[in-house]
Each structure stands twice: as structure tokens, then as C-alpha cells.
Amino acid sequence: MADRDTLKKHADLFDRMAATLGHDLEESALKGQLRIDEISDAVLACTGCSNPAHCSEWLGTRDTALQAPQYCRNRALLDRLHP
């Protein structure tokens, strides 16, 4: 299992990715669009990314995006949140 610092880093990346795509994870959970365990699973999936530095760099170059990059392990989940 990933250590605490790794989990925090990837939780931040996942939250930033969601925000860049226009999603508020807390609001999505409150509306029933996303279960809390799905958020946890998404963070764990993110820890398996082979290049989180590239993801962080990608996020740093834009304020908004229509889709997560192809390599994002949570792309399908994030796509599902679009209305």
C-alpha cells in the first residue's frame, strides 16, 4: 500500500484534475454522482501512474480542459461526471 505522503500527493493530483475538468468532487458526491469509495479508489489508481510528474506539469499549464489526458488512470471516471 502507498505511504501517506504518496496518497496525499495523488489525492491532490486527482482533485486538481477534476477541478481542471470543471468537477467539484465533494459536490458530485453530495449529488450522488460519485460515491466516496470511488474517490478513494481513484486516488489509489492514481498512485499507480508511471509519470505523476508529467501529470502535475500538464495540470500546471492549463486552467481548464475538456478531458483528462489519455494516460490518466481515472479518465473514464472523470468523463462519466460530465453532464
- The pLDDT tens digits along the chain (83 residues) read 679 999 999 999 999 999 999 999 999 999 999 999 999 999 999 999 999 999 999 999 999 999 999 999 999 999 999 86
In this predicted structure, what is the pLDDT of residue 1?
60
Cell of 47: 498512485
Q: What is the pTM of this model?
A: 0.93
The amino acid at 69: P
Residue 7's identity, in one-letter code, is L
DSSP, residue by residue, the chain: ---HHHHHHHHHHHHHHHHHTT--HHHHHHTTSS-HHHHHHHHHHHHT-S-HHHHHHHHHT-S--SS--TT-TTHHHHHHT--
